Structure 1
């Protein structure tokens, strides 16, 4: 490896400081997510259109997720422990929000994008919602699909020894996004059967991965299935492939930082993702206009770069706290905003002072509920997952990374995401030019 490729960016820093910048980035992403949904309903005159707050937020989150998740698996050195921790990190709150939305559907109906059939149940069970063309009962659940696809791919790559080729993977997915954008006008595999088949493969494959029977073969089948779903049955195929390019770019940055890779593939992948939607067959949304899309990507990349530059510095406590509760904040904020508006009525033409007061109150409610759900749902379930998986993870010989030693389990978690959706009325129906779906 050349000297240029091997130079680390900084000297080692204390673990707490090293983790704080990741939480701060999550906090910034979480604020962008909430603002994307709060402003159109409460303060529409403040909503920016020169960049997409929503896409900005999810790209920051996906970069952070790509940066830390593969390292988490390598640090565990045990895919069984990794997947048990994933389950208890993701599913308890996720299932709780589903129950809440369904229980209150007599008041605020479930969004019409959710099929009323068993296919929706199968898609929600696997979290592969968006990549099997099924809407989530909570609007923001769509990005969890790409977290799950990433986990499946990373597990397969880890077991076959291909997890070190992050730069090549990032460029490949980015080039794939361009090709898919030029050729695909939507999902090829439609109907309920992709959800049924993927659910069956998901359950059987993960059972093998967790219990050790045919583990590598099962992981490869799961990875290939996830890879096929991206261009063939996703709601927006080019975006699905581009998201994986962004996530593997985050991994490539981490490997470059540790002196185990080069940075130029990240630049190439970024350029390809930047042009992917510009001539895409499937498009037309305001957020894929060249000026908006490129500005949004540049801001997300700059935010991540600034976060890296400031690691080791003392960061605002509010940002790290928001990052800590970001998964709760991501999942609960949109249903809560719907319920809030159902009580107050349409606020878009109210007096500015009243809009501001209601927005502040709604934000306070969302933050309070998110903090409580983290304290009483997320944290206990994560602790239970660690106990069931056998305590603290062991380190693989030859795979240890001094740069992540001592990381807390909470930094392995799925990150907050957001759906780039601009409500046209105070329901789930949106203007055609604004809806991601």
Structure 2
């Protein structure tokens, strides 16, 4: 079993945490502008800013691949006397308590808001409502950002199955999973499997994160100059995807992976290498916000919907104040997320960890 370099044994990936914050804030800003019908002044990016909202999810997926591999490595180190079923169960318990409690609370809040904002959602078929609560339905009309959680849970299940099968060769099996996923994705059309979750190209982004973990765990750390070039190259891919989105609309999955996905992977790898070499650590504020990034990502949509209800009621001309209103929404989302993390997300994570330790 591989282990992370010595500087990472604290489970403290500062630049990764900062990237989480950036991803979440990109989504919040993009959705605030788009749903409010606003556009920032040209000197602040103008319409290009909207396109980066989509890229926040690509960053999250690459980060998930890296972080889950790191978590699996740590998990295996602490469960040397456990059998496969115990390992997989404990791993899944931590993931379930990390994802579901906050999601369920905000899904219910979104249903309540629908009474004022979109009453048609209250008449959804029972089967669809159940699938939304279980995170098996990608098209989420109630809490739209949660579509990405379906991919997350699929990746967690695949990882748990690998941990069930083997302790010593789990990284090899992760590589096999990635290879099989690539095969299914690139042959989906000929096999008649288009549109399935397991043939969606966005899964490649989790694989990118796994590859980054493999490189770091084997101490393949780029020299500072090469890492800086990689960082710049990642930004180029990112802006390429942004320009495509600006002119074409939301990109199909494969072009999205080729631009935002590759860009996210290059940025993440470079930032981890620069931190490892003590060359660059992101600002403390971003690192702190990374801790509450999951709450930011989920709570922002109900808060935006609530804001739109108030805007309509008081007939506020939001287009006249895009910077002020988007800044205000960002501050409200961050404050609400901090409260949710303190009183809901963190306690649920602790409960999941305690239950997992009983299974180990």
Q: Shared fold (TM-score greater than 0.5)?
A: yes
Q: TM-score range by the shorter chain?
A: 0.7 to 0.9
Is 1:382–2:349 an aligned residue pair? yes
User: What is residue 31 of structure 1 aligned with on the other side?
Assistant: 25
Give SS of 1:359's match. Answer: helix
User: What is residue 174 of structure 1 aligned with on the other side?
Assistant: 182
Quickly say closer, same or farther: Cα 1:149–1:107, change in 2 above 3 A.
same
Give SS of 2:170's match. Answer: coil
Q: Summarize the alignment of residues 399-418 of structure 1 with structure 2, pairs less than 5 Å apart.
A: none
Q: Return the TM-score normalized by structure 1.
A: 0.62
Please point out which of 287, 291, 295 is paired with 1:320.
287
8 Å contact kept, 1:328–1:370: yes
Separation in structure 1 between the aligned mates of residue 259 and residue 146 of structure 2, nearest angstrom: 25
User: What is residue 334 of structure 2 aligned with on the other side?
Assistant: 367
Q: Return the TM-score normalized by structure 2.
A: 0.75
8 Å contact kept, 1:111–1:137: no
Separation in structure 2 between the aligned mates of residue 50 and residue 335 of structure 1, nearest angstrom: 21
Separation in structure 2 between the aligned mates of residue 30 and residue 60 of structure 1, nearest angstrom: 9
- Residue by residue over 1:166-220, the C-alpha shift from the partner in whole angstroms, topping out at 9 and shown as x without a partner, is 3443344234323325776964xxxxxxxxxxxxxxxxxxxxxxxxxxxxxxxxx
- Residue by residue over 1:250-275, the C-alpha shift from the partner in whole angstroms, topping out at 9 and shown as x without a partner, is 112212322299xxxxxxxxxxxxxx
Separation in structure 1 between the aligned mates of residue 37 and residue 292 of structure 2, nearest angstrom: 23
Q: Summarize the alignment of residues 265-276 of structure 1 with structure 2, pairs less than 5 Å apart.
A: none
Separation in structure 2 between the aligned mates of residue 73 and residue 17 of structure 1, nearest angstrom: 12
Q: How many residues align?
A: 314
Quickly say closer, same or farther: Cα 1:317–1:17, change in 2 above 3 A.
farther
Q: Summarize the alignment of residues 130-141 of structure 1 with structure 2, pairs less than 5 Å apart.
A: 130=138, 134-141=139-146
Separation in structure 1 between the aligned mates of residue 39 and residue 181 of structure 2, nearest angstrom: 36
User: What is residue 43 of structure 1 aligned with on the other side?
Assistant: 38
8 Å contact kept, 2:18–2:290: yes
More helix by share: 2
Separation in structure 1 between the aligned mates of residue 67 and residue 257 of structure 2, nearest angstrom: 25
Per-residue deviation, 1:377:
0.6
Give SS of 1:76's match. Answer: helix
- For structure 1, the residue ranges without an aligned partner over 5 or more in a row are 1-5, 188-228, 232-236, 262-283, 395-437
Separation in structure 2 between the aligned mates of residue 390 and residue 309 of structure 1, nearest angstrom: 32
Quickly say closer, same or farther: Cα 1:126–1:315, change in 2 above 3 A.
same
